[in-house]
Chains A and B, each alone.
Chain A
Amino acid sequence: MFIHLFKYRVKCMVADFGGMFWLLFFPLCLSLFFYMGLGNISESKIAAIDAAVIGENEEFLSAAKESGLFNFVDADEDNAKKMLSSEEVKAVFILGDEIKIMLSSNGIYQSISKLFLDTYLQRSETVVNIVSENPAVLSDGFIDELSDMHTHTEEMPNSPNMNFLVVYYYGLIAMAVIMGGSLSLENVSFIQANQSNVACRFNMAPVNKIYAFAAMSSASLMFHFASNLLLIGVLKFVFGVDFTDKIGLVILTVFVGCFSGLMFGALVGSLIKKGEGIKQGIIIAITMLGAFLSGMMSSDIKYYVTAYAPWLKYLLMPELVSDSLYVLYYYETLDKYFLNMGILLAMGIVCFAVTLIILSRQKYKSL
């Protein structure tokens, strides 16, 4: 009987266009949109800035070349201006008695170029001030020290995994995983005689409701887990989303998320006696709220939750799934990951236990 119920539940899920769309095709489409829309977003990286020079000033040019900040392009005045207009160069240094900089827009590379020139002028002023105040420094090797200045900062150790765009994909996975609650909603409505005609007929058969619930939930879990594995596979191998080398733990996260999402749906289905639309609405609202807070629509939101309301992520399943994936990606230690997983699993077990109690206690005088 278990196999029979399992098989028919799988058939029902495969035949349901709406369910297949929201649980499988919609996340896949969304991941494609993310990939195409966000794929070209990247940070301005440190790189030699293309710049042109008009005029002569050996001292400045040697300082600029020594800094390694610029990639100077040979050009006469007209060409330099044209290249600036077409953004082939970011800045044009006009050298002479007074050094100026020509720019065509605001921007990070333009700011670095200007800061370099500011620093050059400021350093010259500082040396002039010091020498005029204390001329003896000229014989003390002070000038030699000028070229020997060291940096005063050191980078603190941090993870090499810094691509913040993964947050969007992790939020998407969290949404897809917890959205599975709608499958359990159907499972419960197939078993509770006061919710559907199928359930009325089902209750006439000599099958234990808990047994039937277990068979249908197993089928839903298998189906939902498989569809999410497909999503993970597409994200990793087609869209190149980075899950680091902890792919085993990523799959564990998805499995626990699928289980907890399904049990959450079962709890909503058994606890609320209203129409299916309202119950679906509750599941979608909680899932989308969790996905929103986990950064699916804006990666900034995830940070605001972490910084200002960290307790919130322990209340919402999608947040827990997304945060677990984030911890696996960014953190080297796993203590936060196991805390998240523990809470998520506990939520799933509590939902499962309450659903069992509700289902086992329901009796009908007539059908």
Chain B
Amino acid sequence: MNIFKLYLRLFFKSALGISLMYMIVFLFVSSVFLSSGGSSSSTSFEAFKCRTAVLNNDNSTVASELEKYIKDNTTPVELTSYDNDSIKDSIFARYVMYVLIIPEGYGERFATDDELKLGVYSVPDAASAALVDQMVNNFLITAELYKKGTGEIDFTKVRSDLSIESDVVMSNNYQSSKNSVTEQAITFMAYPILAIVLFATCHVIITLQHTDIKRRINCSPAKSLNVSLQVYLGAFVVALVVFAVMVVFMFAVYSKDITSYTAPFYFLNLFVFVLVALSIAVFVAGFGKFSVIMPVSNIVSLSCSFLGGIFVPLELLSESVLRIAVINPAFWYAKANGIISGITASNPAVPSELFVCIVVELLFAVAFFAMSLVVTRIKRSK
């Protein structure tokens, strides 16, 4: 097992640093994912809650009641500053979709001929901003009606009226959430796996192909098949470690969201994708020179991730990209994760489509591995 040991020594010496860097970046981005929200498993309708900020410059009852109503029915956001540029920046970045400015003296002049208007900053024509605008006007029109109809605004009645909700009938195929944060984060694991496995495997295999090392191995009594198997074993062990780290991370961070129904399938899908990454790496290493490892591993991992639904959910990719994506193994990995996330305690049946995705991934792995053997054979014959 000298070649195998040499493989691991080379990995620790030259590829561990970059691999750790990818891992740290992955952990950081995943923590950003986690902080961005949680998944929904509710079976009843959940109204969309737009990110909204309210700047209340008035201390009247109508202003404070409006502020409370809006904060209760949206996702309230506090801005670090409410100057014009800060509000504009927050709207542009979609940190907040709707900023309501209640001017000083609004309450005094409410429902009079001299009424002040509420200032609104929002993303033009955005449906979410229109939703909040509808809420704001609904509250104020209700208050105005009471003032005009009874001479005073009884906010208890306003609140009581506005608490009336229509009955929602859910259709049989109701879907509460198409993309949970957990599913996205597990799907995102494909990128560090591709990047690490590609870089590490290519780097070590190309080092082993150095003329001096190759000659030294060739003059040893080890058979060529045995040497190849030890190299592949080394690459597999490194990939297995990457897989194990990912699984530990998955359990440590997403244990609440991964149920006993989904866990085995997430692991299976991840493991198969590690095999795919390994086969791509072995194939790329067959061509390799040191100067092209970083460029090629970056381009392959980024292209697979961008165009395969790893960075951007499949639902958001255009039709033309999706048509090309079928020849991208990352697409099948992401698609399989989407199917797995739909397996729940109430619907534990495993769709056959999931196995189709996994088999397609395996076929990709076999195809790349076969091509790498062909490349090696051609190189040897030369």
Question: Interface of A with B (CB < 8 Å)?
Answer: 17-18, 21-22, 25-26, 29-30, 33-34, 36-41, 43-47, 81, 84-85, 94, 98-112, 114-119, 121-123, 125-127, 129-131, 133-134, 137, 142, 145-146, 149, 151-156, 158-160, 162, 164, 167, 297-300, 302-303, 306-308, 330-331
Are A122's CB and B93's CB within 8 A? no
Partner of B125, one of A46, A154, A302, A306: A46
Chain A residues near B48: list those with CB within 8 A. 106-108, 110-111
The 10 closest A-B pairs by CB, nearest first: A303-B93, A130-B149, A33-B306, A37-B306, A40-B318, A111-B48, A44-B127, A104-B171, A154-B117, A117-B166
Q: Give Cα A46–Cα B295 distance, bound, in whole angstroms.
A: 43
Bound CA–CA A109/B91 (angstroms): 21
A17, B292: Cα distance in complex, Å: 9
Which of chain A's residues has its CB closest to B158's CB?
A126
* Nearest chain B residue, comparing its CB with the CB of A307: B80
Question: Which one of A26, A29, A106, A137 has the highest number of Cβ atoms from chain B below 10 Å of its Cβ?
Answer: A106
- Tell me the bound Cα distance from A168 to B173 in angstroms: 37
Picked from B115, B133, B170, B306, the residue with its CB within 8 Å of the CB of A34 is B306
* Beyond A36-B318, A37-B307, A154-B117, 10 extra complex contacts between A and B, CB < 8 Å: A36-B321, A41-B316, A118-B164, A122-B164, A125-B161, A130-B146, A133-B149, A149-B141, A160-B124, A300-B95
B171 and A103 contacting across the interface, CB-CB below 8 Å: yes
**Chain A residue contacts of B168, Cβ below 8 A:** 100-103, 114
Query: Which of B4-12, B262-270, B297-305, B353-361 has 4 or more CB atoms under 8 Å from chain A?
Result: B297-305
Q: Could you list which residues of chain B lie within 8 angstroms of chain A, going by C-beta atoms?
A: 29, 32, 40, 45-48, 79-81, 85-86, 88-95, 100-101, 115, 117-128, 130-131, 133-138, 140-142, 144-146, 148-151, 157, 161-162, 164-178, 291-292, 295, 298-299, 302-303, 306-307, 311-312, 316-318, 321
B169–A125 touching, CB < 8 Å: no
Among candidates A39, A142, A164, residue contacting B148 with C-beta atoms closer than 8 Å? A142
Task: Compute how far the CA of A8 lies from the CA of B121 in the bound complex, rounded to whole angstroms.
Answer: 56
Question: How many angstroms from the CA of A158 to the CA of B299 in the assembled complex?
Answer: 39
Q: A123-B142, A129-B157, A155-B120 are in contact. Are A112 and B149 (CB under 8 A)?
A: no
19 residue pairs bridging A and B, Cβ less than 8 Å apart: A39-B321, A40-B317, A45-B127, A46-B130, A100-B168, A100-B169, A105-B178, A106-B45, A106-B177, A111-B47, A119-B134, A121-B165, A122-B138, A152-B118, A153-B100, A155-B124, A158-B88, A306-B93, A331-B88
Q: B51 to nearest A CB, angstroms?
A: 12
Q: Is the CB of B134 within 8 A of A36?
A: no
Q: Are A104 and B173 in contact (CB under 8 A)?
A: yes
- Complex CA distance for A133 and B81, rounded to whole angstroms: 44
Contacts of B140 on A, CB cut-off 8 Å?
A: 152
Q: Note all chain B residues with C-beta closer than 8 A to A84.
A: 171
Q: Given A152-B140, A298-B32, is A46 in contact with B127 using a C-beta cutoff of 8 Å?
A: yes
> What chain B residues lie within 8 Å of A99 (beta carbons)?
166
- Do the beta carbons of B142 and A126 come within 8 Å of each other? yes
- B40, B178, B317 — most chain A CB neighbours (10 Å): B317
Query: Smallest CB-CB separation from A160: which chain B residue?
Result: B124
On whether the beta carbons of A307 and B148 are closer than 8 Å, the reply is no
Closest to A49 in B: B127
Q: Please measure, in the bound complex, the distance between the C-alpha atom of A109 and the C-alpha atom of B101, giving whole angstroms.
A: 25
The contact of A85 among B126, B137, B173, by CB within 8 Å, is B173
Q: Are B167 and A162 in contact (CB under 8 A)?
A: no
User: Quick one: given A112-B134, A115-B135, A152-B140, are A18 and B164 in contact (CB under 8 Å)?
Assistant: no
Instruction: Decide: B46 and A106 in contact? CB cutoff 8 A.
Output: yes
Q: What residues on A are CB-neighbors of B316 within 8 Å?
A: 40-41
Shortest B31–chain A CB gap in Å is 12
| A122 CB contacts on chain B under 8 angstroms | 138, 142, 161-162, 164
Cβ of A40 to closest chain B Cβ, rounded Å = 4
CA distance A160 to B92 in the complex (A): 10
Is B136 a contact partner of A152 (Cβ separation < 8 A)?
Answer: yes
> Which single residue of chain B is at the shortest CB-CB distance from A300?
B93
Instruction: Say yes or no: A306 contacts B133, CB within 8 Å.
Output: no
CA A155 to CA B119, docked complex, whole Å: 6
Bound-state Cα–Cα, A110 to B162, Å: 19
Are B317 and A109 interface neighbours, CB within 8 A? Answer: no
| Contact (Cβ within 8 A) B302 A108 | no
| Given A122-B161, A130-B145, A130-B150, A102 and B117 contact (CB-CB distance below 8 Å) | no
B156 to chain A, nearest CB (A): 11
Q: How far is the CA of A94 from the CA of B141 in the complex (A)?
A: 26
User: When A36-B321, A43-B126, A44-B128 are in contact, do A164 and B101 touch as well, CB less than 8 Å?
Assistant: no
Q: In the complex, A356 Cα to B30 Cα: how many Å?
A: 44
Say whether A152 contacts B127, CB under 8 Å: no
Task: Give bound CA distance, A154 to B80, whole Å.
Answer: 23
Contact A114 B91 (CB under 8 A): no
Question: How many angstroms between the C-alpha atoms of A300 and B40 in the bound complex?
Answer: 22
- Are B131 and A115 in touch, CB under 8 angstroms? yes
With A41-B312, A330-B88 known to touch, is A94 a contact of B126 (CB < 8 Å)? no
How far apart are the CA atoms of A105 and B345 in the complex, in Å?
19
A348 to chain B minimum Cβ distance, whole angstroms, is 26
Would B118 and A108 count as touching, CB distance under 8 A? no
Contact call B162/A127, Cβ cutoff below 8 A: no
Of the listed residues B122, B128, B166, the one surrounded by the most CB atoms of chain A closer than 10 A to its CB is B166
Task: List B contacts of A22 (CB < 8 A).
Answer: 295
Q: A26 — which chain B residues lie within 8 A by C-beta?
A: 295, 298-299
By the criterion CB–CB under 8 Å, are A94 and B295 in contact? no
Given A17-B291, A112-B134, check contact A43 B123 (CB 8 Å): yes
Kindly list chain A residues whose C-beta atoms are within 8 Å of the C-beta of B88.
158-159, 330-331
- CB nearest neighbor in A for B140: A152
A126–B156 alpha-carbon span in the complex (Å): 12
Alpha-carbon separation in the docked complex, A30 to B306 (Å): 9
In contact, A146 and B145 (Cβ under 8 angstroms): yes
Contact A105 B306 (CB under 8 A): no
| Bound: A30/B305 CA distance, A | 11
> Could you say which residues of chain A place their CB within 8 Å of the CB of B144?
149
Q: Are B164 and A307 in contact (CB under 8 A)?
A: no
Complex Cα–Cα for A145 and B111 (A): 12
A81 proximity list for chain B (CB < 8 A): 171
> Looking across the interface, which residue of chain B has its beta carbon closest to that of A104?
B171
Q: Complex Cα distance A85/B170, Å? A: 11
Closest residue of chain B to A145 (Cβ to Cβ) is B148
